[in-house]
């Protein structure tokens, strides 16, 4: 009997990641062996209204800012539910994103094939592969606190996409409206007052999912000493490591798989 051994083609070393945020659209090439940016990122203000066409134009500008080989994998992290190439929700972008075929629109505009993922899923994948949850067994829940709340559930390195735990209804409210870091700013809450809301929020999430570890990302995680020590939760809760590059790095890594 003869056996044929097939060798998996080696993964690309460089991939490109783009992160669509409420205030900026950022992109950079990523070194997949380290999870670091291979070049400084480009950031362009998110157009308003943030319609699919306006955002696609900016994605084109970000890609054109680098001299990418035609076969460089490109990932785009989107702040909402994604099904294949289609954006299905738009909590903090223009409503016309609901049902938009972003993969097709970017292909039409740039000739490039992108891989689309939810932004928190991308950030969570980056934390597990390169960051705070590297080597952790079991269920890791990465939560991003920003304009909204994003969630990524990763079990033994496998991502369960589109968990959307930021939109749990808690005490009659969409949770992210009260507990995202944008709520802290909007309502001018003290760290203590905001931590009380996070305590309620994370307790509910823990009761539902029972993760082995919480990782907290988003811009505010830079100031984690001001609020994480105030939380009393069953599983450990630790700050993200990649901070504001997590979306770019994670979606580039997902695109290269
Ligand atoms: C969206 C999520 C996203 C999160 C962070 C939420 O409003 O529904 O899909 O991950 O914001 O951007």
Q: Whose CA is nearest to atom 4 of ligand 1?
A: 150
The answer to whether residues 24 and 117 belong to one domain is: yes
The answer to whether residues 108 and 143 belong to one domain is: no
Distance from C-alpha of 229 to C-alpha of 117, rounded to nearest angstrom: 31
Distance from C-alpha of 117 to C-alpha of 87, rounded to nearest angstrom: 9
The answer to whether residues 30 and 106 belong to one domain is: yes
Residue 108 makes CB contacts below 8 A (sequence gap 6+) with: none
128: in domain: no
189: in domain: yes
Would you list the DSSP string of 49-62?
Answer: S--HHHHHHHHHHH
The pTM score is 0.95
pLDDT given for residue 243 in this prediction:
83
What does the mean pLDDT of the chain come to?
95
Give the Å distances, CA to CA, from 23 to 20, 33, 240. 8, 29, 21
- Within 49-100, residue ranges assigned H as helices are 52-64
Helix or strand run (H / E) with residue 32: none
126: in domain: no
Using omega within 30 degrees of 0 as the cis cutoff, is the peptide bond preceding 191 cis?
no
Q: Is the dihedral angle over the CA atoms 181, 102, 54, 249 positive or is it negative?
A: positive
Q: Per the structure, how many domains does the chain have? A: 2
pLDDT in tens, 9-39: 456 799 999 999 989 999 999 999 999 999 9
The answer to whether residues 43 and 148 belong to one domain is: no
User: What are the structure tokens assigned to 210, written together?
Assistant: 């029972």
Mean pLDDT, range 226-242, rounded to an integer: 98
pLDDT given for residue 19 in this prediction:
98
pLDDT in tens, 164-195: 999 999 999 999 999 999 999 999 999 999 99
The answer to whether residues 44 and 106 belong to one domain is: yes
Greatest Cα-to-Cα distance within the chain, rounded to the nearest angstrom: 72
Is the CB of 91 within 6 Å of ligand 1? yes
Is the CB of 79 within 6 Å of ligand 1? yes
pLDDT given for residue 10 in this prediction:
55
The answer to whether residues 219 and 250 belong to one domain is: no
The answer to whether residues 112 and 157 belong to one domain is: no
Which DSSP letter does residue 40 get? P
Distance from C-alpha of 135 to C-alpha of 119, rounded to nearest angstrom: 22
The answer to whether residues 170 and 250 belong to one domain is: no
116: in domain: yes
- Report the nearest atom of ligand 1 relative to the CA of 89: 8
pLDDT given for residue 1 in this prediction:
41
CA of 123 from ligand 1 middle (Å) equals 12
Q: Whose CA is nearest to atom 9 of ligand 1?
A: 80
pLDDT given for residue 9 in this prediction:
46
CATH number, domain of 157, equals 3.30.420.40
46: in domain: yes
The answer to whether residues 163 and 85 belong to one domain is: no
CA of 135 from ligand 1 middle (Å) equals 26
The answer to whether residues 186 and 222 belong to one domain is: yes
Q: Which long-range contacts (CB under 8 A, 24 or more apart) does 27-32 make?
A: 27/59, 27/62, 27/63, 27/65, 27/66, 27/248, 28/66, 28/245, 28/248, 29/66, 29/68, 29/72, 29/252, 30/248, 30/249, 30/252, 30/253, 32/252, 32/253, 32/256
The answer to whether residues 72 and 167 belong to one domain is: no
229: in domain: yes
The answer to whether residues 198 and 252 belong to one domain is: no
Residues 215 and 178 sit within 8 Å (Cβ to Cβ): no
219: in domain: yes
Is the CB of 144 within 6 Å of ligand 1? yes
Domain that holds residue 50: 4-121+246-256
Q: Tell me the sheet residues that pair with 142.
A: 152, 215
């Amino acid at each position: 009997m003869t056996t044929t051994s097939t060798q998996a083609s080696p993964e690309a070393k460089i991939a490109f990641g783009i992160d669509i945020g409420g205030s900026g659209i950022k992109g950079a090439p990523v070194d997949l062996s380290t999870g670091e940016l291979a070049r400084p990122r480009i950031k362009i203000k998110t157009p308003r209204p943030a319609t699919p066409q306006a955002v696609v134009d900016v994605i084109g500008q970000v890609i054109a800012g680098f001299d990418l080989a035609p076969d460089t994998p490109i990932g785009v992290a989107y702040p909402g539910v994604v099904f294949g190439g289609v954006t299905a929700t738009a909590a903090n972008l223009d409503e016309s994103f609901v049902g938009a075929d972003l993969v097709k629109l970017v292909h039409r505009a740039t000739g490039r094939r992108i891989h689309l993922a939810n932004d928190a899923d991308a950030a969570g994948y980056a934390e597990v592969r390169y960051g705070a949850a590297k080597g952790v067994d079991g269920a890791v829940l990465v939560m991003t606190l920003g304009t909204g709340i994003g969630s990524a559930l990763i079990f033994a390195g496998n991502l369960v996409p589109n968990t959307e735990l930021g939109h749990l209804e808690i005490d009659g409210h969409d949770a992210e409206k009260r507990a995202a870091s944008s709520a802290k700013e909007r309502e001018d809450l003290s760290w203590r007052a905001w931590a009380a809301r996070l305590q309620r929020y994370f307790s509910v999430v823990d009761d539902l999912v029972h993760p082995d570890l919480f990782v907290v990302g988003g811009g505010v995680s830079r100031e984690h000493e001001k609020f994480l020590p105030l939380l009393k939760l069953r599983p450990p809760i630790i700050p993200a490591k990649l901070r504001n590059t997590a979306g770019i790095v994670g979606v580039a890594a997902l695109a290269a798989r």
